[in-house]
Amino acid sequence: MPCQPFREALSARLDDEPLGMPARALDDHLSVCPACAGWADDAAAVTRRARLAPAPAVPDLTAAVLTALPRELPGVAAAARARLLDTALRLALLAVGVAQAGLAWPVLVHGAGAMSAPVHMAHESGAWNLAVGASFLAVAAAPRLAAGALPFLGTLSVLLVPVTVADLSSGHVHPERAAAHLLLLAGVVLVAVVAWRASRGRSGGVVGRRVTA
């Protein structure tokens, strides 16, 4: 049988058209006809070159894309600022706690600074100040304790302020003694901020888990 019908079938196969003969008959012919097998390879190569087109040149946008990107991801920067603020609060609370304990120590050991009060009353005052300093130090070491310490420390400071103002106006307390209470107020404010930030972080975490669930 002449090769022309088989070559027409090969051309139709390359163009995804009907072969005009059984596919097995075409494959059997190619297996025994080296000329048609070579012609099929050449035709396939020509068809491939004809169908392939050079890709258009694409400008390099790497520099433009990198320039448009922010220097820091907003979430990462916010988290870094939050960690920095938390660290600053804890360090400030640590300093206030040490200073508060420092005010109590001379009274407990030597009775110094008792302001002519009875010795036992001075010792009680020193123990009280030391307990307050220990509370500040505990919150600085473990910020999760801030919410639990706040009712005690907040009540103390709220009651102490009007009493101290009244005692100052009537001359029942020395100004330097009253000024020492500013340390307590600073510590209470720091504990309140730590407790507020901790509660906000927990509520944010719950919302995030609900959204992603």
Q: Can you give the pLDDT at residue 73?
A: 60
The answer to whether residues 194 and 93 touch, using CB atoms and an 8 Å cutoff, is yes
Side chain identity at 41, as an amino acid letter? Answer: D
Could you give the CA distance from residue 6 to residue 33 in angstroms, rounded to a whole number? 10
Tens-place pLDDT, residues 124-147: 777 888 888 899 999 999 999 999
More confident of the two residues 117 and 158:
158
Residues 6 or more apart whose Cβ sits within 8 Å of residue 101: 129, 130, 133, 134, 137
In this predicted structure, the answer to whether residue 116 has a pLDDT above a threshold of 60 is no
Q: What is the mean pLDDT of residues 196-205?
A: 73
pLDDT at residue 74, rounded to an integer: 62
Judged against a pLDDT cut of 60, whether residue 213 lies above it is answered with: no
Under the banding of pLDDT at 50, 70 and 90, the label for residue 96 is very high
How do residues 42-93 score in pLDDT, each as one tens digit? Answer: 888 888 877 776 767 778 888 887 787 766 666 667 788 888 999 999 999 9
For the chain, what percentages of helix, strand and coil (3-state, to nearest 5) are there?
80, 0, 20
| Chain center to CA of 11 | 63
pLDDT > 90 in the chain, percent: 18
DSSP-derived secondary structure for 97-115: HHHHHHHHHHHHHH-TT-T
Kindly list the domain boundaries of the chain, sorted by start residue.
4-51, 73-212
- Of residues 12 and 123, more confidently modeled: 12
C-alpha dihedral, 182 to 183 to 189 to 191, nearest 10°: -160
**How far is residue 90's CA from residue 136's CA, in Å, rounded to a whole number?**
9
What distance in Å separates the CA atoms of residue 19 and residue 144, rounded to the nearest whole number? 80
